[in-house]
Structure 1
Amino acid sequence: MTVRKNELISANFDSYLTSDNPLGANNDLDIIKAWLQHAASNSKYTFYNYLKEVKRICLYCDSIGIHYTELKALDVNNYLGILKNPPAEWLKNDEAGVQLKTQILLKPLSTKSVEYAQGILKNFYNFLVNSEVIRSNPVNLSIKIKVEEQYHISGKSLSFDAWDYLSAWLKHESIRSNQENRSKAVRDRWLMNLLYHTAIRRSSVIGLSMNAFKVSDKGKHRVWCIHVHTKGNKNHEIIASEELMNELKFYRQAIGLKEVPSRNEENIPLIPALNRNKSGISKMTNSISLRGVNFVITESLKLAAADCEDYFIAQELLKTTPHTFRHTSAIHRLNIGIDLASTQHHLGHKSINTTMIYLQDTQDHQVEENEKFNEILRNRVNKFDNKF
């Protein structure tokens, strides 16, 4: 009688559990608990991340029909590849229908976070080797993750990756939340998109009504603008981007209003305090308070970080404050090449020197601008050389 390899492994594992093993483990859960106690008992957050990683690798093993003790180096490589470039069956979606167990990712993980995941797995499988559960560590033989640059978490602004994740998470929550929680998810999505796309301070949000949005003539263009009060109670007009208008339309439709504001909506708060009723989306009549803004940002981003499979993005989200969105908007604009004068007006700075402080924080922007300058010089030199 021929014994298949996985049956032999299963028999060995069963034998390990029934023997007087070093861990005193009787099942899979005992082994994982012993590892977590050994490797992550000193930090609640480390414990949470290690637990998330071992759950994820067990989910992957289940999806390919093997036990986690049967994992091979090629399987590890495939798993890391999924984290970096997840196929559709590993990505969450907002469409109705049956959801797969593997649909746990909103976005691909950064290379640095894939490396972090590999490090946790290496620790886990080393523990299994030392505990005599398995003979060799497959992660040690897996592909070496090459990280070209370090991941910096300044705490002052969100990276593009972090904002992209948060934006996707807010959208997912506002669509997929159950009826009881949807009104809050819809409102929170609108608040954070407003803060990001306008770069206004939280104090400017308080007391605003829907008629803060008005159509204005800008040169040859007629565009939607939002009118707010800045420091010193000065009036400030900000051109609304297409993305912001799309978010406004989604929010208004969700609460039963027409797509765009009318002049007689001075009694409808732009960002309301939430008063729930049994129908889910509530009638919102009171403007949010400063304390309310703080609470929304803190609590929502805790949930977003808990759902995030990317360790470094989760760390960014946990450090985010209401003012982070203003810094993020400024730095993102400068990083993608929006000029200082436009950014100065967008932020409402009296002096362009204040706006330049954000430019000093954009290290990527400095390098890119230097490369752009070098390319211009090379082209000029090459053009000159061709004359000889």
Structure 2
Amino acid sequence: MILEKYVKLYKNYLKLERSMAQNTITSYLFDIYKFQNYLKDLESTVDLLHVDETLVRDFIYSISEFIAPSTQSRIISGLKGFYDFLVLEKYINQNPVLFIDVPKLGRKVPEVLAIEEIDNMISNIDLSTDEGNRNKAILETLYGCGLRVSELVDLKISDLFFEEGFIRVTGKGSKQRFVPIANQTIKWITIYKDEIRVHLKIDPKDEDILFLNRRGKQLTRAMIFTIVKDLAKLSNILKKVSPHTFRHSFATHLLENGADLRSIQAMLGHESITTTEIYMHVDRSRLKEVMELHHPWSGLNIKKEFD
């Protein structure tokens, strides 16, 4: 099919020239096929290469009732990128998505766990099993280093620089950063690596991967979600908890304890400081306290002036 040729070229473009992560590429291609299936359902004679703006708008309207605005935005962005590529390569003359705006999104406040809730979850891990010791190391790493779940499952033994107190993390777009690691996290990773992992029959292709399943293969993202959700349930935590919740909690607790946004941005691997600023919501009371303590026109100083 001729269309497959263009999708394959676009896939290679995203991977080689844009250096996008595989999960992002998969999402973009999925959205292209979703639009293609919409055209098929219409029994339209128009294919993806010859659609106009009206058809794209009709497609977005058709999914708007059951797909969240954030997902709509991703689909529009993905289609816009696909047609930008086709224009760039001169396969078409005009991008039909060019003037379609993404839905306006409110900034969603991330769910955050209290330190006591994190301690409770970790204390409920069964350390009498090999998997329990591995899971403790996993949660210590998620919270202690603020990793994305994809960064956690891809973490390698060769990424551990314990003597220097850092780990090397490969984030979105294959960009690497160094993240500080606490002694407590080093301790539990070392226990898992030296006392549990060494006894596994490891798949040759996963020899350098740190966290493995019982068959010696790399853990999946889905498995990390399952581990976290099971522990949250066991700990009677009613919040919506996922591996990403530990990343949010990592950033929030750093901010609460006086870390600056630029440092948090570097540790999280955010390309823009705007993304990191979402964590500013969490500690309004602390910001008020800082202002009252340090601003020369604070209520305390004004009171002294008039006494």
Correspondent of 2:210 among 237, 261, 270: 270
Q: Does 1:381 align with 2:301?
A: yes
Superposed CA deviations along residues 209-257 of structure 1, whole A, max 9, x for unmatched, are: 2111125xxxxxx722111211111112111122322222332343276
Counterpart secondary structure, 1:157 = coil
**What is the number of residues matched between the two proteins?**
190
The one-letter code matched in structure 2 to 1:191 is: I
Secondary structure in structure 2 of the residue aligned to 1:299:
helix
Asked whether the 8 Å contact 1:208–1:287 carries over to 2, the reply is: no
Deviation sequence 1:99-156 (CA, Å, 0-9, x none): xxxxxxxxxxxxxxxxxxxxxxxxxxxxxxxxxxxxxxxxxxxxxxxxxxxxxxx872
Name the counterpart of 1:341.
262
Task: Judge conservation of contact 1:208–1:269 (CA < 8 Å) in 2.
Answer: yes
State the 1:304 CA deviation. Answer: 3.1
1:194-233 correspondence runs (5 A)? 194-214=141-161, 223-233=164-174
1:287, 1:161 → 2: CA distance?
30
1:289 equivalent to 2:237? Answer: no
Q: Distance in 1 between matches of 2:288 and 2:153?
A: 41
Deviation at residue 298 of structure 1 after TM alignment: 2.4
Find 1:160's aligned residue among 112, 115, 118. Answer: 115
Cα distance in 2 for partners of 1:168, 1:298 equals: 15
Q: How does 1:113-124 map to 2 (within 5 A)?
A: none
How many angstroms does 1:207 deviate by? 3.4
Shift of 1:327: 1.1
In 1: Cα distance, 2:254 partner to 2:176 partner: 22
Match runs of 1:173-322 below 5 Å: 173-174=126-127, 177=128, 182-214=129-161, 223-255=164-196, 267-275=207-215, 285-305=216-236, 314-316=237-239, 319-322=240-243
Whole-angstrom CA distance in 2 between matches of 1:287 and 1:336: 35
Report the Cα offset of residue 267 of structure 1. Answer: 2.0
Gaps of 5+ in 1: 1-153, 216-221, 258-265, 276-284, 306-313
**2:207 counterpart SS class:** coil
How far did residue 169 of structure 1 move? 2.6
Q: Which amino acid aligns with 1:323?
A: H
- Listed as ranges, the matches of 1:45-60 within 5 Å are none
Change beyond 3 A, Cα 1:292–1:256 = closer
- Partners of 2:178 and 2:250 lie apart in 1 by 16
Instruction: Measure how far apart 1:325 and its partner are.
Output: 1.3
In structure 2, runs of 5+ residues without a counterpart are 1-108, 199-205
Equivalent position SS for 2:176: strand
> Deviation string for 1:59-86 (max 9, x for gaps)?
xxxxxxxxxxxxxxxxxxxxxxxxxxxx
Residues in 2 aligned to 1:325 and 1:244: alpha-carbon distance in whole angstroms: 14
**Is the 8 Å Cα contact of residues 262 and 273 (structure 2) preserved in structure 1?**
yes
SS across alignment from 2:165: strand
Residues of 2 paired with 1:338 and 1:169: CA distance?
Answer: 29
Match of 1:320, SS state, is coil
| Contact 2:110/2:248, CA 8 A, preserved across alignment | no
- Asked if structure 2 preserves the Cα contact closer than 8 Å seen for 1:210 and 1:268, the reply is yes
Q: C-alpha root-mean-square deviation of aligned residues, in Å?
A: 2.8
CA distance, structure 1, for counterparts of residue 176 and residue 122 of structure 2: 29
Distance in structure 2 (CA, Å) of the matches to 1:223 and 1:246: 14
Report the CA distance between 1:374 and its aligned residue.
Answer: 0.9
Is the radius of gyration larger for structure 1 or structure 2?
A: 1
In the aligned structure 2, how far is the partner of 1:206 from the partner of 1:225?
17
Question: Is 2:147–2:247's contact at 8 Å kept on the other side of the alignment?
Answer: yes
Q: TM-score, normalised by structure 1?
A: 0.44
Q: 1:381 and 1:327 mapped to 2: Cα distance? A: 36
- 2:197–2:212 Cα contact (<8 Å) kept: no
Report the Cα distance in structure 2 between the residues aligned to 1:371 and 1:247, rounded to whole angstroms: 36
Shift, 1:346, TM fit? 0.7
Contact 1:273 / 1:292 at 8 angstroms: preserved in 2? no
Give the Cα separation in 1 of the matches to 2:303 and 2:191.
52
CA distance in structure 2 between the aligned counterparts of 1:343 and 1:380, rounded to whole angstroms: 31
SS at match of 1:194: helix
Secondary structure of 1:273's aligned partner: coil
Q: Distance in 2 between matches of 1:254 and 1:169?
A: 21
Using structure 2 for the length normalisation, give the TM-score: 0.55
